[in-house]
Copies of this chain bind each other. A is one copy, B any other.
């Protein structure tokens, strides 16, 4: 295999976010778990949409947001995920391609419509997601593009995609393809509830060859069924070469065999919407990692990208991240 043509290929759900503001009462009256993602079916999606306030549609999907972030930093990214042949599918395809991400998964022309996530943003900027997976559910080994995967320094797997049946098998196959080509495999745990649903499967995948793991504090303690962050750090260190663990306002910690590196958060004027904060942290880190930067710089790039995204509605960058990173002297 020659020099990789791209930095990161992401594999994940292809989703359009439908974002509306609400108050805490709306969440509690519907028993929605604040800050988490719940899977809903078509009927529940219709009912919730009918009850929500006026909304804005912005392309989303966790790994897709990460790929958009890598491209915004000036990196080369590709994405694999499944939309339907419909308007939201065209919107998703437009947005990810127009930021420069290579995306060529064929749209499905039968079955469920393009996936959508009904995202409720409360006054504190927290986002509560209700995702109808639609066409994204059927992603499988057939959609894995070997040229993208073997041509990428890092294959980045979105934990949310553990929910659709068949996608787990595709993840194992993608990891195998990447490893065979001498590339790295990265994984995001995505959501604590998602970890709870698929703990054993995540552990098996990590042990099978994930070099770089992304998780927040809640997810990593849930994965190892431990009570403290320190115990989780010890556990992940034994299984994974590098783990980038985010802790919200407390910043992040990069765990490697050579030790722990603590990264502060990048200050923001106002937290408008935390949707995509983890995705963009991963974008910054992956970009730095693919370019051979040290852990501290990778983490700072992650914090910077996360800070940009929480300052506005939606999980795709509004300001070119490369420009922000150059201003901070993180990249040249």
Residues in A lying within 8 Å of B, measured CB to CB: 18, 20-21, 49-50, 52-59, 68, 86-88, 91, 94-96, 98-99, 113, 314, 316, 318
User: Nearest 5 pairs between A and B by C-beta?
Assistant: A57-B57, A87-B87, A54-B95, A56-B58, A54-B99
Q: How far is the CA of A68 from the CA of B53 in the complex (A)?
A: 12
Q: Which residue of B lies closest to A18 (CB)?
A: B91
Given A49-B94, A50-B94, A88-B87, decide whether A314 and B56 contact each other with a Cβ distance below 8 A.
Answer: yes
Contact of A98 (CB < 8 Å), options: B52, B88, B91: B52
Q: How far is the CA of A99 from the CA of B52 in the complex (A)?
A: 10
Q: How far is the CA of A207 from the CA of B307 in the complex (A)?
A: 55
Establish whether residues A54 and B98, one from each chain, have CB atoms under 8 Å apart when the complex forms.
yes
Establish whether residues A58 and B59, one from each chain, have CB atoms under 8 Å apart when the complex forms.
no
Listed A/B pairs (24) with beta-carbon separation below 8 Å: A18-B91, A20-B98, A49-B94, A50-B94, A52-B94, A53-B98, A53-B99, A54-B59, A54-B95, A54-B99, A54-B316, A55-B91, A55-B94, A55-B95, A55-B98, A56-B56, A56-B57, A56-B58, A56-B314, A57-B57, A57-B58, A57-B91, A87-B87, A87-B88
